[in-house]
Amino acid sequence: MNNPKKYTLEIASFTLQGALEAFHAGAHRIEFCDNPHEGGTTPSYGMLMQARKNISIPIFPIIRPRGGHFFYSKQEIECIKKDIELCKELEFEGVVIGCLDEHGKIPVLLIHELVQLAYPMSVTFHRAFDRTADPLTALEQIIDCGCHRILSSGQYPNVMEGKILLKEMIEQANNRIIIMPGSGLNSQNVREIATYTKAIEFHTAARMTNTNSLFPSPKTMNENLSFVSTNTMEIKKY
């Protein structure tokens, strides 16, 4: 899979350095996040500014005010709206959103409002989708809301387990929306997923954990100051 005209590789980056590394390693697009241990939250203003200034490929910041479930309070929704407006002001190519109601269903009116607010940016609905009880109904609702793609692992922890639903989603979508497999995707299984599902966009973190090598840690401290970075060698294998 070495022809960028035939597929799109999106890398989830959790630090500014990781985003820069993904860019130079050949990523086609970056999902820009913070807080990997919470599944990704909205990066700071400073991180957004520096990413926009130094990276020329499309960047889609995730708009997620906190970790945990996807049913947001009125105040959190206002945060989401303001962050979307900020990303539009900074001229990002897209944003990544995802909300559910208290019953785990798609809040159609809210998602439609967020898509309209984001225009002309592209909108990805993230893996909150994988928490819905009726994924094929949710698929149609997200299409009707005007989203451009859905990031999904097929309602399993990884794409290999969820590939049957992913294929069904792509067939039902029939080019009305992009279904982008992600979670557990790597350079060893991407071809199998591509062949089986007929997906054309793929999402991976390609991440690794780095340990602190700069400063000694006192024995009284139980923190190793490890951090998440991008595995550039893995990206280059796609």
Specify whether the CB–CB gap between 25 and 230 falls below 8 A: yes
Give residue limits of the domains in the chain: 8-211+222-235
Specify whether the CB–CB gap between 63 and 76 falls below 8 A: no
Structure tokens at 66: 């906190």
pLDDT, tens digit, 9 for 90 and up, residues 64-101: 999 999 999 999 999 999 999 999 999 999 999 999 99
> Helices 135-145 and 159-173: crossing angle, nearest 10°?
50
> What is the reported pTM?
0.92
pLDDT, tens digit, 9 for 90 and up, residues 23-68: 999 999 999 999 999 999 999 999 999 999 999 999 999 999 999 9
Q: What is the pLDDT of residue 226?
A: 74
Specify whether the CB–CB gap between 226 and 14 falls below 8 A: no
1 band by pLDDT with thresholds 50, 70 and 90: low
CATH class of the 8-211+222-235 domain in this structure: alpha beta
